[in-house]
Structure 1
Amino acid sequence: MSEVESRFVKRGYWVNLSKGPIMGQTITTDTQTGAFLVALLAITTSLGMSHLWHLITFFYHQSRADGRPSDGLFRHQQALFRTLPTPSSLTADSIKLWYAWRGVGDHTLARSLPHTIAALLFAVGSIAVSVFSSSVASSTDLEVLVNSPFCGIMDPNSTSWQSYLNVVSSEGTSYASSCYRAGSLPSRCDVFSHSSVPFTTESSACPFDQKMCASPAVSFDSGLVDVNDAFGLNLHASDRVRYHKVASGNVLGRPPLPDEEFVKYLYGNTDALDFTVSQSLLNANANMQIRTSAVWTYVFTDENDFVPIPDLKRHDADVTLRFILKNSIMFMQPVDDPMYSAHREVKLLDTQGENNTRFISDFPGSHQMCVNTPNGESCTALSGLLYDYSNETIPGANQLQLAVLRIVEQAALIFDNSVPQSYIVEDTSDSRESITEIPDDQWIKETQRWEAIVWATHQIMVTDVAIGPAVRDPLSQQFVLPPTNEQHQNLCRMQKMRKQGGFVNFNYFGLVFTISVSGTIVLIDLVLLRFLIYLRKFQQALAPRIDRWTQDSVFQLDRRAHEAQGNGIWKDLDNEVPVTTEGIELPDLLLETLPPPSTLRPLTSTQLVQSGERTSFQTLLSETQTQGLGLSDLEPRCHGPGPHILRDSDGCTP
């Protein structure tokens, strides 16, 4: 059993309804396109988080820009925030500021540590967001939608399916052995949406007349399973179908008779024969392999080749009689298991001339179908297969649900407990075809395995409808019917299977959410901090805090430093980038500090400010430079039209 071929995988957008109508939206691409989208996601996420940090830093700077006098650490921190540092840069620079201002400012550690912690938390959050964005894409153990041009069902009126049935039976037996068990499963089990269909195993009463049962019965019950889960169908909630299968079995034993040469078993009539199954003991004595023969009868049809005796007759279940011809298989120990009961001793002479003792040995099903209807769930009775699923037998079912029921019914009709041909005990025989000791409940393990094989073959046959039975067995092409109505055409596009590689699935919601949120954050940052912030009306609405954002820029701080040294006359003081009034050369800034600031003396010269323009004062700087004025004392404070005379640091006099 191999996974679906790549040529049958649907590319593009589809909805995995098992994950919901929102989170189930999926885009399936090849690995090359997937790698491009993964890279795009990584870049988009990185940009979004970077610009989000810019916005956080901007609003934090604005919340602190209240205009009150503060110490040097505060001014340095505001200048640092104005540079829009990365979280790692803010962490490092905050530590530098704390170290430089320790012992000088008040509570420097308490004022620096929150910035460091916030930056580190944001960095961790960025990593978490990156992990989330990577989870949007998955490239292993994928659930993909089947899209095959060979979709079709086996012709129910044909009986020449043997080639296809043999292939499905063989693959189902192998798959059940590997995948219908507890514990870790091999990768070959990652074929269907769910590797197996769970069922319970319980002891039950004899399903026939009590005298027919040589042992207690065992029952295998799947409960009502959703066909979406059992077979990987992708049906909407309103189209859901549930399937309930119960199989009960026991051993119909009899004691051996003396001098038997040919045995006929009569458990009901088959065609014109006066027995159900026969066995030649001459052939049995020469055969050391288990052989199987089976007959069956169905409740809701009169076209049965086998009519069971009254003691085996059931009116609420289909009956399968499985004859296990053990022939001359031998056991190394007495066996009390009712299926393999062996107590007669046989002496064999081995190659060493020694005698060795060996022992020669001396199954109804019910189905229930439920569909979701506008008036609630509608179910058939737990009984045999109906053969005719329509609105009369299951009221309220829509045409798509009826199409699903017919496909499930076809699988259940063809592959029942008479199909499995292998036995666990055959795997335990030694080189002399003798079977080692087996437990008393071996027959339960055997029947449990048969039930697993039945479910495995059902999984294969239902999924083959969408892929095409002829893909699995080319010889069956002539017996395959293409979709003949809208419902079957829809079913061709509703089959999910698993794929281990070669494709990438993207969660459409996660992809759109990540790109949309990141794009919105980037757009807000660019529009707000790169455009709106410099519009005059926007500045007036947010003044005076927004003015402090402008004045804390590195260009404004550089302008102030040059003004403090009397370098040039500056204009555009309200803009992010101030410039000199003339194209002059500016010397390097001094490495020495200026003398302590002192009170301004009355000025002996004036500098006019042109209408509507702020400018610096070269003459003023020349007269006041020797007094050691601070940077804030040198900034002109006059606004508006008309000439003004700068008197001191307290204001302007017209």
Structure 2
Amino acid sequence: MSNYTIHTGLWVNYDSAPALGATLTVSIRWGNYLIAALSSLVGWAGASAWSIVSFYLHQRLAAAREKDVLHQQLQVHFRTAGSFLDSWLDGIGLHKAWKGRAEKVKRRTLAVSFLALVLFALFMAAGVFVAEVATKTYQDVLVLAKPSDCGDLSFMMDESDPDKLAGGIDELTSWYNNGAFWGRNYARDVYVERRGRESGFSMSELPFIGHETPCPYTNGTTCLGPNRTEGAAWRMDAGPLDSHIHFGMNAPADERVTWGVTATCAVVDTQNLTTKPYWRLEENDDGTTMNNTYIGILQQFDEDRGEASNLMFEVPLYLKYQRTGYRSQRGLWTPGLNDAYNKSITGYPFNNTEADMAMVSTTQGRMFYYDRVDDPYFMAHRSNTSEEYAMSPNATVYYASQLVTVMVCTEQQQICNPHTDQCTPWSGTLKLQGAIGNNTISLNHAQLATALRLIASVSSMISQTARAATNLMVAEKNGVRGGASLPPNQWIKEVELWFAANLANTQANLLEWIAKPWPAGQVQNYYKYINLTAMDAPYQRANIMEQKDRLCQNQLVRSSTTVQNFSVLALTIVIVFCSALIITALVMPACVGHFRERRRSRGLTLSEAAEAGRVARLADAKYNVLAMALRGAGVENWERRGTSEIPVTKGSVTVCPPVEKNGLPAYPCTSCAICRVPSSSSSSSDSVSDTEKKQKPKLKIDIKSMSGSTVDGDEKRQNSGSKSFIQKLGRSMTEHTLVASPVEMSPTGDDKSSIAEGDRITSLSPAPPIPKKSRTRSQ
């Protein structure tokens, strides 16, 4: 098999339009990273989508004229909306709190939860199914192979150098034999036993059909069926096979060709063929000299009994008596070749100038079966009960009815131009090569390069059929002595396996065309009889080297568990859609706000809904909600800087912690110098007596002098409301106006320093040190 590696990166699969076929191939590791990043991006897009929805709903709610508290809470919710889960829980919480206290609570509150839940489910599913943009890690994927030594494989046959000629012949024979055995094993696993096998082919098996056809031989011989009765031939058709779809030569539709092959085989009757012993040497080639070493079958089709009188089969006589199992040989003929060997089966009744032919002869020696075999090619009817190798000495076994059986096969090929509907005639290999070389079917340059590559890689069934008995399934099943009986159509199974094996060999040769089976830089050690300079010769003669190089870069192969393919279109859609949501969520509030402010700065008025939305967006912001709560507690002097929505105070302010009253938290007077947080016992309504509840809240203030001296509690209470005491402190104290809040209750009510809730008092606390740089401004 070829020595290809896998291309990673961007490429186009021309199974569909370029936009749809754009593919990114990465390793499994980087594929996992990419899927994780896409899932995160989808999650971010989901959060952004909720932000967009919340912005829209907030503006819709803000435009309403009549509002209740629930309406305002929903408005604040959408202004400060968090995640899907937060909104879902908030909707449920609002429903429970307002149930029975406002109109249409269920519709108004649970709609929030439902909307959040739907969007959450939608984007959660999108985050999971985003992995569908990639192929599965447990599936085979089509990828591009990296080329290495592209071109036709050519062996050097230098007749002037006997050693080089012999070495080239040996290398060529070895290459053919290795391919034949590999193809046969592959076809047995994939086509016959229907189990997977690693190959790298873009299509693991090529489709073909087999069916009976009338016997093509009607004079001089006939076709045999079960029990050697007169029967039909068996025809196998593959095609038209698309160069892209079936062979993985990745190309647009206008650069493809189709190829078809058909083979017809028949078991033939040899009784009318002269059978005589003969001697193979030239002086005895007339077949009249008996030697008793070989048995030969000679076909008499003219007066000449010499070298051209069709040698079909030869077999050593001793095979008749020794248990050597199956032995097969073949004779070939290809129209256009004039050597005697390739004329071996020409003439009557097998004369066919438009097909490659093979005559395959098989002897079974002393093979035996435990049941009669009616198959015409492996027919065994001669019984015997004294076979020493049988399971039982008394068992009846059956031997082959004939020493030699003969099968004749013809094969034709055709290449078509799918855009002009022109096809070459069905013919043998040489005539097909001539038709493509002369471009008789108007192929464009890309199609011509594809056709040249295809016919150079075709493994002819005739040239590869039954190279030895190891190509027979029965030989693998029954060994060298005996075995189980065979079905009457065993010969059909054998020829279909040969046909499938040669389809597989053609696929393997196409892969070797782009990546030769030797490691890079090691040609001299593996295939030193290969002519590397001749690999480009047909393409240089046709002036299509550019198209040939494109074929090198575009061979599809199948890979498992090493890489992943990502649809570039799907990736683009996910990234663009998610990015659009994210960017919209980020810029939409700012853009809307900028547009509105720009209109106001020009003196243009906004619509009533737009103005309400603008103000509500400022008012319902979480920091502004806090500012409004603090303003209620006495913190003043708020402002916004520039376009910022965050309110700030003009100076530093001490904020007292919130306290609880009647089950509701509230901020106390925030102008206290030092705020004492009441204990749970003093703030709890359950632990306070009715008398204590009726008393006014008290506020205690600690005062420390600037110099660090302290004033005890009695002095504080005596002087808390004294103006003279304030005047004595002078500039060492700062003046604060406080709003009394229920920070701490006096248990007795006797405290004269108690301050009623709502009363305004003036208290003193040490003035903070003034920084040198800002002292003048403070003064």
Q: TM-score, normalised by structure 1?
A: 0.82
Give the equivalent residue in structure 1 for 2:238: 222
Maintained 8 Å contact 2:311/2:345: no
**How far apart in 2 are the matches of 1:38 and 1:135?**
9
**How far apart in 2 are the matches of 1:402 and 1:22?**
26
Give the equivalent residue in structure 2 for 1:493: 553
2:598 aligned with 1:552: no
Maintained 8 Å contact 2:275/2:298: no
Secondary structure of 1:416's counterpart equals: helix
Deviations 1:166-225 (A, max 9, x none): 221222112111122475x33x34621110001111111113336421131111111311
2:104 aligned with 1:107: yes
What's the CA shift for 1:494? Answer: 1.7
Q: How does 1:201-240 map to 2 (within 5 A)?
A: 201-209=210-218, 211-214=221-224, 215-240=231-256
Q: How does 1:260-275 map to 2 (within 5 A)?
A: 262-267=294-299, 272=308, 275=311
Deviations 1:535-559 (A, max 9, x none): 6227876433233222221112212
**How far apart in 2 are the matches of 1:418 and 1:168?**
9
Point out the more displaced range, 390-399 or 566-575: 566-575
Deviations 1:557-580 (A, max 9, x none): 212222333332323399521222
**How far apart in 2 are the matches of 1:118 and 1:354?**
87
Deviations 1:439-459 (A, max 9, x none): 111111111111111111111
Among residues 26, 29, 37, which one is paired with 2:26 in the alignment?
Answer: 29
The one-letter code of the counterpart of 1:565 is: A
**RCO greater where, 1 or 2, for CA within 8 Å and sep 6 or more?**
1
**How far apart in 1 are the matches of 2:73 and 2:320?**
100
**How far apart in 2 are the matches of 1:312 and 1:259?**
20
Task: Calculate the aligned-residue CA RMSD, in Å.
Answer: 3.4
**How far apart in 2 are the matches of 1:263 and 1:310?**
22
**How far apart in 1 are the matches of 2:663 and 2:611?**
31
Give the equivalent residue in structure 2 for 1:321: 359
Deviations 1:11-56 (A, max 9, x none): 3221111243112212223445444433433333322232122112
Secondary structure of 1:312's counterpart equals: coil
**Cα gap change, 1:587 to 1:275, in 2 (>3 Å):** same
Aligned residues: 595
Secondary structure of 1:381's counterpart equals: coil
**Cα gap change, 1:537 to 1:288, in 2 (>3 Å):** same
The one-letter code of the counterpart of 2:422 is: S
Q: TM-score, normalised by structure 2?
A: 0.70
The one-letter code of the counterpart of 1:148 is: P
Deviations 1:318-338 (A, max 9, x none): 222222232222111111111
**How far apart in 2 are the matches of 1:276 and 1:564?**
115
Among residues 55, 66, 70, which one is paired with 1:69 in the alignment?
Answer: 66
2:46 aligned with 1:49: yes
The one-letter code of the counterpart of 2:379 is: S
Secondary structure of 2:268's counterpart equals: coil
Give the equivalent residue in structure 2 for 1:382: 426
Q: How does 1:166-245 map to 2 (within 5 A)?
A: 166-181=177-192, 185-186=195-196, 188-189=197-198, 191-209=200-218, 211-214=221-224, 215-245=231-261
Give the equivalent residue in structure 2 for 1:165: 176
The one-letter code of the counterpart of 2:651 is: E
Secondary structure of 1:229's counterpart equals: coil
**How far apart in 1 are the matches of 2:21 and 2:583?**
29
**Cα gap change, 1:84 to 1:19, in 2 (>3 Å):** farther
Secondary structure of 2:315's counterpart equals: strand
**Cα gap change, 1:565 to 1:413, in 2 (>3 Å):** closer
**How far apart in 1 are the matches of 2:526 and 2:108?**
81
Secondary structure of 2:458's counterpart equals: helix
**How far apart in 1 are the matches of 2:313 and 2:306?**
9
Give the equivalent residue in structure 1 for 2:598: 537
Give the equivalent residue in structure 2 for 1:452: 500
**How far apart in 1 are the matches of 2:647 and 2:236?**
86
Among residues 463, 476, 483, which one is paired with 1:427 in the alignment?
Answer: 476
Q: How does 1:369-408 map to 2 (within 5 A)?
A: 369-373=415-419, 376-385=420-429, 386-390=432-436, 392-408=438-454
**How far apart in 1 are the matches of 2:182 and 2:354?**
31
Maintained 8 Å contact 2:242/2:259: yes
**Cα gap change, 1:307 to 1:345, in 2 (>3 Å):** closer
Secondary structure of 1:37's counterpart equals: helix
What's the CA shift for 1:289? Answer: 2.2
**Which has the larger Rg?**
2
Where in structure 1 are there 5+ consecutive unaligned residues? 596-617, 628-654
What's the CA shift for 1:413? Answer: 5.3
Point out the more displaced range, 419-428 or 74-83: 419-428
Secondary structure of 1:234's counterpart equals: coil
**How far apart in 1 are the matches of 2:599 and 2:134?**
42
* Percent of residue pairs identical: 22
Secondary structure of 1:105's counterpart equals: coil
**Cα gap change, 1:534 to 1:591, in 2 (>3 Å):** farther
2:647 aligned with 1:587: no
Where in structure 2 are there 5+ consecutive unaligned residues? 158-167, 225-230, 278-291, 403-408, 665-736, 742-756, 760-779
2:359 aligned with 1:360: no
**Cα gap change, 1:451 to 1:584, in 2 (>3 Å):** same
Maintained 8 Å contact 1:270/1:306: no
Give the equivalent residue in structure 1 for 2:13: 16
Q: How does 1:472-487 map to 2 (within 5 A)?
A: 475-479=526-530, 480=532, 481-483=534-536, 485-487=545-547
**How far apart in 2 are the matches of 1:399 and 1:589?**
86
Give the equivalent residue in structure 1 for 2:313: 277
Give the equivalent residue in structure 2 for 1:610: none
Point out the more displaced range, 529-538 or 64-73: 529-538
Give the equivalent residue in structure 2 for 1:146: 145
What's the CA shift for 1:387? Answer: 2.2
What's the CA shift for 1:343? Answer: 0.5
The one-letter code of the counterpart of 1:264 is: G
**How far apart in 2 are the matches of 1:23 and 1:221?**
33
Secondary structure of 2:589's counterpart equals: helix
What's the CA shift for 1:504? Answer: 3.3
**Cα gap change, 1:296 to 1:621, in 2 (>3 Å):** farther
What's the CA shift for 1:292? Answer: 1.9
Give the equivalent residue in structure 2 for 1:465: 513
**How far apart in 2 are the matches of 1:342 and 1:49?**
76
**Cα gap change, 1:259 to 1:392, in 2 (>3 Å):** closer
**How far apart in 2 are the matches of 1:456 and 1:263?**
35
**How far apart in 1 are the matches of 2:193 and 2:116?**
48
Among residues 626, 629, 636, which one is paired with 1:561 in the alignment?
Answer: 629
Maintained 8 Å contact 1:206/1:216: yes
What's the CA shift for 1:586? Answer: 2.6
**Cα gap change, 1:349 to 1:317, in 2 (>3 Å):** closer
**Cα gap change, 1:18 to 1:538, in 2 (>3 Å):** farther
The one-letter code of the counterpart of 1:253 is: D
Maintained 8 Å contact 2:383/2:397: yes
What's the CA shift for 1:278? Answer: 1.6
Deviations 1:369-390 (A, max 9, x none): 11244xx332222333312243
Give the equivalent residue in structure 1 for 2:750: none
What's the CA shift for 1:477? Answer: 5.0
**Cα gap change, 1:76 to 1:309, in 2 (>3 Å):** same
Among residues 263, 283, 293, which one is paired with 1:247 in the alignment?
Answer: 263
Point out the more displaced range, 359-368 or 155-164: 155-164
**How far apart in 1 are the matches of 2:662 and 2:614?**
29
Secondary structure of 2:396's counterpart equals: strand
